[in-house]
Amino acid sequence: MVPTDRLAAILVIAGLMIGFSGRFAPLMAAGVALAGLAIALAASDWLKLAGIGTPDVSRTVDEKLSLGARNPVTLHVRNSSYSRLVGVLRDEFPEDFVSAEVHTRKDASEDFSRRSIFAHTTTLRGTSPPGALLDVNIAPRSETELTYHITPPQRGDFEFGDAYMRLRGPSGMLARQIKFAIAQPVKVYPNILDLRRYEISLRRERVVQPGQKVTRVHGRGTDFESLRDYMPDDEFRAIDWKASARRAKMTSRQYQQEKSQNVMILLDCGRVMGPVIDGLSRLDWSINAAVMLAHVAAIKGDKVGLMAFGEDILAYTPPRAGRGQTLNLLRMTYNLTSTSGDSDYYRAFPFFARKWTRRSLAVVFTELDDPDASRPLISQIASVTRKHLVMVVAMADPAVVTAATCEPQDAADAFRAAAARQVMQARKHAAAQLTRAGAIVLDLPPGVFTPAVVDQYLRIKSTARL
């Protein structure tokens, strides 16, 4: 049992009244009566709270949380006693996580009145571990669910702590604190919630509406599909001479888009990928986009592989087909961090060339700097483009763009704008050199980073550039 602020305030007032009774005698009796009343009410609260059974509290949260997304956490509270539970429930979530608003949902079998239950969430600052504070008001023999959302700021292994409930007595003089041992480990992965949303939208797009029919789209790929009569506008190399001889008429081969191409993701984990942009590091943005790209490629029937590198090779898996490869990439990348040193491109790209020789779409997530600083990257990309189709993806910092385009108000703003324009110009020069080397370059802001990467992959696949 814990005394509340209300009891302490009443006892202080009673003490002051007794203390000033020397100047005004009636204050003595009033002070003693007030203190006696407070003690009596506290005793009543003690008896009431002691008679309440321990409620049941459990937590529902995904074992795999999504980085930078609002992940729901639900607390199930069951009141098996014959008394109403009124108080506050505190749930300990991992440090540095950010909590959002709380929603309360009543079970259909609840037998208490349907008036709304006010709930709120606050993030405790300066305490360890942090927690969400949820108001509870549960009728006897009933249950409810309290849901709040958390946003993980980084990938890795974390743990939810225990939950604590503080029940208030009828008069508010005493409170009873109950601990619920529901500690639970969780892993923060790249944004898997977006993968689920894309899966749902893709299934909706696949639904054939009444009156429509499914047709096969023939591309300019190399997978043989069928034979047909020769048309005047057919390419000369499309003629099948053996089939023409058997059929005694000119016959052409018809091809369709390849169903199993290779996509290799090269993930730069060097020092340049550490800066934070819009709440996530460049590496986190890149991993989210890489996992979404792998997911889409797997749906399209392509094989996907990944290599992560910094000063050394951090992870490698060759391209494989199937949805299971996406889960494998999630496991490989959920605890990757940017290194403190510069990436060794002279080691990473030759390693890739030795380990994987089949022509592929190589998607390089990295950062662009001025041409001199990017010379090792540019030289190695130029060597890779001889064998593979290369797409280089970098993230533009919106703060730099804003500083370069805003109107200066003083000398400091003018200097900042000049520096920002110089950085943007250097990035354009580096991107131009990569383009001349044969690479496709995407320099994207955070808002369109992942969709633009996926759209470019689909564009490459639809035009059969591999």
- Between 44 and 234, residue with greater pLDDT: 44
pLDDT value for 379 = 94
Answer whether residue 225 is part of any domain: no
pLDDT value for 189 = 86
Query: Does residue 183 register a pLDDT over 90?
Result: yes
316-360 pLDDT tens trace: 999 999 888 988 998 898 888 998 899 999 999 999 999 999 999
Residue 387: pLDDT band (50, 70, 90) is very high
Domain span at residue 240 reads: 232-256
CATH of the domain at 112: 2.60.40.10
pLDDT value for 430 = 92
The mean pLDDT of the chain is: 83
364 and 279, same domain (yes or no): yes
Distance, CA of 153 to CA of 279 (rounded, Å): 7
pLDDT value for 259 = 59
CATH of the domain at 396: 3.40.50.410
215-225 pLDDT tens trace: 444 445 555 66
pLDDT value for 271 = 92
Domain boundary among 137, 164, 189: 189
pLDDT value for 121 = 35
Task: For residue 91, count other CB atoms closer than 10 A to its CB.
Answer: 27
224-270 pLDDT tens trace: 667 888 888 777 778 888 888 888 888 888 766 555 789 999 999 99
pLDDT value for 153 = 84
Query: Does residue 365 register a pLDDT over 80?
Result: yes
Please tell me the total count of domains within the chain.
4
Can you spell out the DSSP letters for 186-245? EEEES-HHHHHHHHHHHHHHHPPPTT----PPP-S-SEEEEEEE--TTS-GGGB-HHHHH
316 and 427, same domain (yes or no): yes
pLDDT value for 222 = 55
